[in-house]
């Protein structure tokens, strides 16, 4: 068991993808407690980008963040799927890009792109709504925030502060196990 970065799942502790025990895949690779999860279909990235750009111009990274937020972190498309889709939409004349803040590109819809966006009845992230357990989403968010703070401390701390952080984490783990032992 250790700290790892999982592809598309963020980071966590434990033996597999997700955030450790209770969050990662259970039997046959399915998430525990999640039942049948909805998979991202071909065209969902395209529809998500068009839907977001209908609200206003955005950078590619902003789109990734916005999709993750709107799906409650159940779906976070990779840059490897977003940027090629942006290029394809540009080639099709549905979007245009302009340079802003250095080399960062800002994307916006063309008239033809607006017409395509209007044909999308339901934003693709809505398909995940029924599959999200908000208490687990809140727990994942809190854990991600904690892991971010711990990771940041590795770069901006002294050995003494690092030892205090380790003690805090060990204490938090003990308290969590005490809660779990009392709730069964």
Higher-confidence position of 118 and 135: 118
Higher-confidence position of 179 and 171: 171
Torsion angle defined by CA atoms of residues 141, 165, 180 and 69, in that order, rounded to the nearest 10 degrees: 0
Q: What is the pLDDT of residues 78-104, one digit of tens each?
A: 999 999 999 999 999 999 998 876 778
Asked if residues 10 and 143 have their Cβ atoms less than 8 Å apart, the reply is no
Q: Which two tokens stand for residue 151?
A: 């990771």
Higher-confidence position of 138 and 174: 174
The backbone region for 101, taken as left when phi is positive above 0, alpha when psi lies in -120 to 50, beta otherwise, is left
Higher-confidence position of 127 and 66: 66
DSSP code for 5: E
Q: Residue 129: its pLDDT value, please?
A: 63
This prediction has a pTM of: 0.55
Residue in the structure block whose two tokens are 């990734």: 64
Residue 109 CB burial class (10 angstroms; 0-12, 13-18, ≥19) = buried
Q: Residue 132: its pLDDT value, please?
A: 55
Q: In CATH, what number does 42-128 get?
A: 1.10.10.10
């Amino acid at each position: 068991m250790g700290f790892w970065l999982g592809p598309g799942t963020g980071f966590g502790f434990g033996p597999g993808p997700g955030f450790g025990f209770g969050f990662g895949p259970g039997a046959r690779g399915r998430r525990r407690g999640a039942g049948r999860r909805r998979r991202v279909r071909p065209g969902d990235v395209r529809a998500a980008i068009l839907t977001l750009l209908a609200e206003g111009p955005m950078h590619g990274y902003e789109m990734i963040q916005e999709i993750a937020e709107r799906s409650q972190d159940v779906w976070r498309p990779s840059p490897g799927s977003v940027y090629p889709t942006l290029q394809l939409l540009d080639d099709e004349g549905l979007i245009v890009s302009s340079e802003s803040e250095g080399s960062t590109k800002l994307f916006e819809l063309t008239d033809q792109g607006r017409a395509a966006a209007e044909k999308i009845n339901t934003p693709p992230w809505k398909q995940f709504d029924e599959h999200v357990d908000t208490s687990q989403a809140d727990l994942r968010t809190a854990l991600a925030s904690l892991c971010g703070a711990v990771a940041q401390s590795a770069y901006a701390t002294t050995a003494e502060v690092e030892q205090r952080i380790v003690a805090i984490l060990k204490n938090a783990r003990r308290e969590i196990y005490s809660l779990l032992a009392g709730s069964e």
